[in-house]
Amino acid sequence: MNAPTHSPHSAAFADRLAAAITARRTPACIGLDPRRESLPPAVRSADARDPRDLADLFARFCRDVIDVVAPLVPIVKPQLACFEAIGPHGMTALADVIAHARSRNLLVLADGKRGDIGSTAEAYAEGWLAGPWAADALTVNPYLGNDSIEPFVKTAEARGAGIFVLVKTSNPGSKDFQDLVCDGRTNYEHVAAGVEALAARTSASGRFGAVGAVVGATWPKQLDDLRAAMPHTWLLVPGFGRQGGRASDVRGAFHPDGLGALIVSARDVIFAHARPEMNAGLADGQWQTAVERACHEMIDRLAADTPAAALRG
């Protein structure tokens, strides 16, 4: 299989994302987090324990999910760790999944939470945003400082790509460091201020920039505050569904026109066969129908309880 290639885009990522969300009329982002033990019975193979076989299984499963959600959502988010854990064969599978998503006109957000300095950061940025992986955006860890983010920003601007910087993450332990107060503000507020400055600086259209922020659905009050503090920043909001985030919790992530936020669901959608209400009346081989039902449910919940309703006209 040939790896995907990535030439500079004619439009900035922020604008392409807004256009894709508007076209699909939803801010839903589907996470691709394949786990062998969670796969549908019709897909799971008792023999798929060899890394090559497991990688092939993951690739087929993710392609099948992509085929279901491509007409419904603007973007997918492969979790890189799920593929890296298998080794070289897993990375080949990841390249296959990214290429398939792009062939179905989906944007691709690589969730790797990369972070480093100097030439290493430049190499990460080049590989994921400009090199063979061909991702449209990448999640970035900021805790090495501003100089660790700048190489990603530079490459993103040059390639019409984007980055999403960890600001206030959805996990309970985020409070251990992110909520610590320094100079009268929490650490995550300091990071948010830096992200907003970068977003404003890289905003070609004057609205949203190439730099976004990761803010968990499990912190609705902080989400409201951070939306106000980062008007030029796309918010990537994980934690919806299985982690406890509700549609009403993410209202504050949006601008009134329904733009400004991507709401992520992974397990609730891709493993919907395990949800009795989604799998009702289906045979094992119809697991994709459960995925479709769960994706529609997510889209409808967001339209009912958030400003995403404005996207439906």
Q: Which backbone phi and psi does 237 adopt, to 5 degrees?
A: -115, 95
* Tokens read off for 104: 């179905």
Contact 287, 42 (CB under 8 A): yes
Residue type, 14: A
**311 DSSP assignment:** G
**For 176, phi and psi rounded to 5 degrees?**
-60, -40
3, two tokens = 């790896």
Question: Is the C-alpha dihedral spanning 94, 96, 101, 102 positive or negative?
Answer: positive
Q: How distant is the alpha carbon of residue 87 from its chain centre?
A: 22
Neighbours of 190 (CB within 10 A): 18
The Cβ of residue 194 has, within 10 Å, a number of other Cβ atoms equal to 18
Structure tokens that stand for 28 in this block:
């839903």
Contact in structure between 183 and 191 (CB atoms under 8 Å): no
Strands (E), the chain: 28-32, 75-78, 107-114, 137-140, 162-168, 181-182, 185-186, 211-215, 235-237, 261-265
Catalytic status, residue 113: yes
Integer Cα distance of 240 and 243 in angstroms:
6
Structural tokens at position 119? 């030439």
Please give the Cα distance from 262 to 240 (Å, whole number): 11
Among candidate residues 113, 154, 168, 175, the one labeled active-site is 113
**Active-site residue set:** 113
